Each structure stands twice: as structure tokens, then as C-alpha cells.
Structure 1
Amino acid sequence: MNTTERLCYQNDSAAAFYDTAQFITGLIIYPALCFPGIVGNILSLIVLFHKDMATSTNVYLSALAISDTVKLINDLFYFILILMKHTEAANAGMIMANLYPYAHYIFNFAVCVTAWLTVSIAVERYISVCHPTRAKSICTIPRARTISIFVFITMSIITIPSAMRYHAVFVTDHIYNLTCYVVQPTHIGNNQVFMKPYTWIQNSFRSIVPLVVLIILNARIINELKRERIKGKSLSGRNRITLIMIIIIIVFLVCITPDAVMSMFFGFGYVEENSIVKGIREITDSLLAANSAFNFVLYCTMSQQFRGTFCKIFGITSVHSKRSERDRLLSTYTKSVNGRVSTHESKPVAPVSNTEYEGNSALTLQETFV
């Protein structure tokens, strides 16, 4: 049986493993990540574009949210196609085969952009922590915008061959008397003289080189922060921001490492891989989706400024702002009362009995001004 004749039907343990991995990732993991991740990234963009958040770091984070959203939307289409595969198999196969070349390009483009924007964040944090005297002149908003645009344009060009690597082919399986659409390499995709070195270059840009650079930079940044703590210095505001960026980098490293390992040992394309490798790829790709959906949660839990701006934009009164306003009003009231006492105002004041005042606390007094 030749390859084309058995493309429509597979029934072995390797194919079963791939189908199971595809079912779990496509129908369970991706929707659980994509829907909240897309909403979270959109909310992040709204907050990060606010004038109160105008910093060079937030420019990179905004660009990162855009690339993550593109990645998650692409993954969401994959969820829809896997869902159709289990309900309308014939139409799903045709749609998947025709969309795959474009989805393959978008996937590689978005992952490459995310990788190099994360590297850009790491470089900026390295300069900010290890060369603070030069940070003000180097880490500027216009430069961050230029670098972000450059990353988007460069990665979109580098990944163009991904869009021309595969195409949909309508084949007939004579053994099982079936016809279906399958994804096969194009003429360019079959040109190993071009595709072999290109695949290594793309995998290097997508995961291997960013992985190495991020490990080195993150180690330098963490080491510098440790030295400051040993010297007894408290963390500055700039370095507290760095802690958030370190977490973003570490999460990316954890999520990208399996993909980097797979790229190093299996440098050929996804379609050409066997079912076992494809099943593992499903798992490593879901980690990349998790990375794209993570950042909004991090910003909300660790950045007080992000939470404050978020509440300001959407008209939400946070517990912290309530307490701040309450303290301000209490302070104003106290100063007013003390001022009256110090000037010995002659206005009659109704006496307050001990029973009326008993049990009143500062919190009770504060609550009257909420």
C-alpha cells in the first residue's frame, strides 16, 4: 500500500495515540485557554494603551498581547475544526486541508513574534537592572515601538515559505474505496535543498535561539537582583517591574522548551511527521497556547498599577481605592475637628453621651464617608 492510498484511513496504535492527543488538546485544552485568553489579551490592550501606562515596557507588552491574540484566534479555529471532525467529518477534512497552509503560516509567525518580543523585554530588563545609568536614554517609548514593528515585519517575511509549504489535495484510497482531502507538501515543500536549511532556520528563530538568549539574560538579571538584596537594598519600583517580567520570561521558557527540543530532534514539517511525533506536537503546541493566555492573569495579580488603571477605565471601585478614599476623608475630617477645637469655637455643641459613643471605632467613623 503506497502512501497516498492509505492517507484516508489509519487504524494502528500510533494513529490512536495521535487521535487521543488531538481530541484532548483540540476539544478540551484549546477552548479552555483560547476563550478566556482572547478576552484577557483584549482587556490587557485596552489597559496598556491608556495614557497612564505609557512606558517602553508596556509598548512591548502591548505588542505581545497582539501576537498572543493572533495565536489564540488561530488555535480557536483549530478547536472548531476538531469539533467538526467529530460531527461532520467530510466537511471538516475539506476545510482543514484548505485552511491548514494559512494556519501553519499564522502559527509560525505568531510564535516567532512572541519569542522575539519576549527577548526584547528581557534585553530591556537587563539594561534596566544591570546598566541603570544608560536605561533612561536607551529604553524609550519610540525605540520600543520601532523594535516591536521591526519584529512583526521581520518575522512575517521569514515565515512566508511556511504559507507555501503545503496545499490541499483530493485523493482516492483504492484499498478502502474512500476519497478525501489531505494536506501534502507543494513543489517548494518537496524541495529538500531549500526546505531542510529553511526549516532549521525557522526552528532556530522560533524557539532555539530565543531559548538560549532568554536563559542567559534571565540568569544575569536574577543574579543582579540577588546582589542588591545581599547588599541590603530594597527593590526599587523599576526592579519590582522586573520581577513581573522575569515571571513572563520563565513561563515562556517552560512553554517553549518542549517545542525547542522537538524542533532540534524532528526538524521536518508537521505533515511529514509520524503519528507519535504528531501526538507529542499536539501537547507541545498546547503549552504555547497556555503561554499566550497567561499574561492577563499575571498583570492582574502582581501589578497594582495595572489593576488601578483597569478599575479606572471600567469604572470599578477597587478595595484599595475605597480604603484610600476612606483614609483621605477621615484625615480631612480629623483635621477639621482638630481645627475647631484649637480655635475654641463658641458655637454650642450638643453633648455626646458615653453610651452613644461606646463601641464606635475609626472603621465605623470611616464607613460614614463611603
Structure 2
Amino acid sequence: MDNITDIPNATNLELWANWYRHVHGYAAPIVCIFGVVANILNIVVLTRKNMISPTNVILTGLAVSDGLTMAVYFIYAILSHHIYVNRPTPLTHAQFVMFYAIFSVIAHSISIWLTVALALFRYIFIRCPRRGGKLCSIDRAKLTVVIVSFVTTVVCIPNAVSYQIVDQGNGSSWYVDVKKTTATEIILTRFNFWIQAMLVKLIPCFLLTILSILLVKTMKDAEKRRKKLLSKPMKGSDDPRRPSKTNRTTRMLLAVVILFLVTEIPQGILNLISGIEEDFFDNVYTPLGDLMDILALINNGINFILYCTMSKQFRDTFIKLFLKDLVMDNNRGTYHCTQVTRDTEL
């Protein structure tokens, strides 16, 4: 890779992109390793018997797609930022880059639409508490994951056919480029940008924004009902703690949704402009590619931290699975200290 600082006509954005590329080569693999491990832990915890629920089925699907995205990106980052730097790239590497360009978009798009499904399930559940269990059953959650995965893959077909492997001229170095030789290929490329911008980015972000507003409103209404229940004598079937637990879960899911919005809306806007302005992709979108990637990777790997900090059930299950011996030792120590104190006081 040539040093872009040697190019007189390089823009400030291109100069910054060249500087950040070296940082990204080390930051991205570290984030990917953490994210893959975190998503494996998510899958293990969320699939325990005590954790099975419609919401957790979708969260498991989300963890699978996020984990696969980060695993593939880890290989891509090592190859592109460390192994094949300032040296010819063989055909096998170009083929992998093409696979990565296709697979990562599909996996990440599945994550986005699963997040929409998650918000929709949650809204139906808290908006219609009596019918929510039937409308948002475990079987329907599993079916939703399958449908989202299939439809998203079909929608991403234009992206898959818009790339080509190009020989740099000597037969020893290859790279992946967007097809734009013929008028048909140019139309297909712009059509792909529009699909990526609208169906994979902006429309799901719009739906997530609406659902987030509805979730907040419904959550506030539930909190008002809970306070009314607390102010009245409790009946046999009343449990004012349940709305509070529901609100805690909803807040956690809202945090997941908001993080998606923060990372996906800018990418959607850039995709949309790339489909309108001919030179925007090369001059703006490409230099910002690594930055958008690292933001998406952080978002893909941060859910584990959110679950641990905002869900007591997830945290307790995780501790029971992976820190059981440590907790038991601490409990024995606490129990022993308590016994000594009691004997002393008596």
C-alpha cells in the first residue's frame, strides 16, 4: 500500500484515513476477539433452560450473527492490515475478500432486522400483556429468526453480484472492485447502494426509532400502573413487582436498540448518498470505511456487557455457569465469618 501522504492531491479525509488505517489494523482484531468470545458466552447463557424465552431466542440469533460477523472480520483484518501490506495480494486473498464483502453484509443485515424483530416482540409483549405470551411465543420467535435470515439473504443478492475480482495486470496481484464497466453494471451498483441504504439501514433504523418511542411510552404507562397498584391494597393476583421487572428488561433492550441506531444511521445516510453522487463512494465512503467498521464491531460485541450490567437473571446464570466454584468459596468464607461473629456475640 502506498503512503497516501506522498500524493499531492490527497484530501484531508484521505490523509486521516491513511493514519487511522494503521490504528485500525491493531484495534479491530482486539475488538473482534473480545466480541467473538462475548457472543459465545451470550449464546451459552441465553440457551440455558432457565433463560429460554421468546426474547432470548431472538437475542441468541443476534449473538450468532454478530459473532460470525466478527469472526470473519478478524481474518479479514489480519490478512489485509498485516499479512498483505506493501506486497502483492494473491488470487486466494482476493477471493476471501469477496467472500467477506458478501457474507459480512448478510450477517450484519440479519443482526439489524433481528433487532427490529426484538423491539417489535417487546412492544407487543408489554402493550398486550394478556395476549403477548401467545402472540410472541417461543415457536414464533424461532420462526422469526429463520424468516429474517432467509429474506435478508435474498435482499442482499444484488450486493453479492456487484463485486468482481480484478487482475492488476501482472497476474500476481489481485483485488476486489465494484462492477462499473458497462451501463448495466453501473445501474446495478447504484441499485445495490439504494437497497443497502433503504432496506438494510434507513428503513430498519426508522422502525427502530418508532418502536423505541412506543416502548418508552408504554414503559412509562406501565410504571404509572405499578405505582397505582402500590398505593392500593394488594389483591391475590396483583404483583406490582412484575411491571418493574418488565421495565428493567425493556430498558436493557432499549439500550441495545439505541446503540444500533447510533452506528447504523450514519452508514445508511452514506450509502444513500453513494447511490446518488457518482464520486461520493470513492472520495468519502471508502476513506470512512474503517471507522464505520470499528463502530459496528464495538456495537456487535458490547451486548454482553449490557446484559451483565442490566439483567440480574443473565448475570446470575453467567456466574452460576462460569464462576460457580469462586462464588461457593466466597460463600463458605462468608458463612464461616458469620458463624464466628455469632459465637463471639453470644
**Structure 1 residue aligned with 2:138:** 141
**Structure 2 residue aligned with 1:310:** 318
Quote the Cα distance in structure 1 between the aligned partners of 2:206 and 2:284: 27
| Partner of residue 211 from structure 1, selected from 205, 209, 212 | 205
Q: How does 1:136-285 map to 2 (within 5 A)?
A: 136-172=133-169, 180-186=173-179, 191-230=185-224, 232=227, 235-267=243-275, 273-285=281-293
Cα distance change on mapping 1:264 and 1:162 into 2, 3 Å: closer
Q: Does 1:364 align with 2:341?
A: yes
**Structure 2 residue aligned with 1:295:** 303
Write the deviation string for residues 62-117 of structure 1: whole angstroms up to 9, x where unpaired.
Answer: 000000011101221222023335x6532446554332221111121012101100
Contact 1:165–1:189 (CA<8 Å) still a contact in 2? no
**Structure 1 residue aligned with 2:47:** 49
Quote the Cα distance in structure 2 between the aligned partners of 1:366 and 1:188: 89
Q: Does 1:89 align with 2:83?
A: no
Structure with the largest fraction of helix:
2
Contact 1:98–1:167 (CA<8 Å) still a contact in 2? no
Cα distance change on mapping 1:289 and 1:109 into 2, 3 Å: same
Q: How many residues align?
A: 324
Deviation at 1:29, TM superposition (A): 2.6
Quote the Cα distance in structure 1 between the aligned partners of 2:122 and 2:20: 37
Contact 2:39–2:301 (CA<8 Å) still a contact in 1? yes
Deviation at 1:159, TM superposition (A): 1.3
Aligned letter for 2:52? A
Match of 1:101, SS state, is helix
Deviation at 1:362, TM superposition (A): 7.0
Cα distance change on mapping 1:95 and 1:81 into 2, 3 Å: farther
Q: TM-score, normalised by structure 2?
A: 0.82
**Structure 2 residue aligned with 1:353:** none
Quote the Cα distance in structure 1 between the aligned partners of 2:248 and 2:340: 31
Quote the Cα distance in structure 2 between the aligned partners of 1:236 and 1:320: 30
Match of 2:125, SS state, is helix
Contact 1:8–1:180 (CA<8 Å) still a contact in 2? no
Cα distance change on mapping 1:88 and 1:219 into 2, 3 Å: closer
Aligned letter for 2:178? P
Match of 1:13, SS state, is coil
Contact 1:112–1:205 (CA<8 Å) still a contact in 2? no
**Structure 2 residue aligned with 1:78:** 76
Cα distance change on mapping 1:28 and 1:247 into 2, 3 Å: same
Cα distance change on mapping 1:303 and 1:171 into 2, 3 Å: same
Write the deviation string for residues 8-27 of structure 1: whole angstroms up to 9, x where unpaired.
Answer: 896342443332232222x1
* Higher CA-based Rg: 1
Is there any run of 5+ residues in structure 2 with no aligned partner, and where? 229-239
Moved more, 153-162 or 289-298: 153-162
Write the deviation string for residues 250-302 of structure 1: whole angstroms up to 9, x where unpaired.
Answer: 11111112111211222279998224431212212221111101111111122
Q: Does 1:115 align with 2:112?
A: yes
Aligned letter for 1:112? S
Quote the Cα distance in structure 1 between the aligned partners of 2:89 and 2:101: 17
Contact 1:171–1:181 (CA<8 Å) still a contact in 2? yes
Aligned letter for 1:183? V
Cα distance change on mapping 1:9 and 1:291 into 2, 3 Å: closer
**Structure 2 residue aligned with 1:60:** 58
Cα distance change on mapping 1:249 and 1:270 into 2, 3 Å: farther
Match of 1:172, SS state, is coil
Aligned letter for 2:44? I
Quote the Cα distance in structure 1 between the aligned partners of 2:311 and 2:255: 12
Is there any run of 5+ residues in structure 1 with no aligned partner, and where? 1-6, 331-359
Moved more, 296-305 or 90-99: 90-99
Write the deviation string for residues 138-186 of structure 1: whole angstroms up to 9, x where unpaired.
Answer: 111000000001111111222123222212221239xxxx974232334
Q: TM-score, normalised by structure 1?
A: 0.77
Deviation at 1:201, TM superposition (A): 2.0
Q: How does 1:12-23 map to 2 (within 5 A)?
A: 12-14=9-11, 15-23=14-22
RMSD of the alignment, in Å?
A: 3.4
Match of 1:191, SS state, is helix
Deviation at 1:363, TM superposition (A): 7.8
Aligned letter for 2:51? M
Contact 2:54–2:137 (CA<8 Å) still a contact in 1? yes
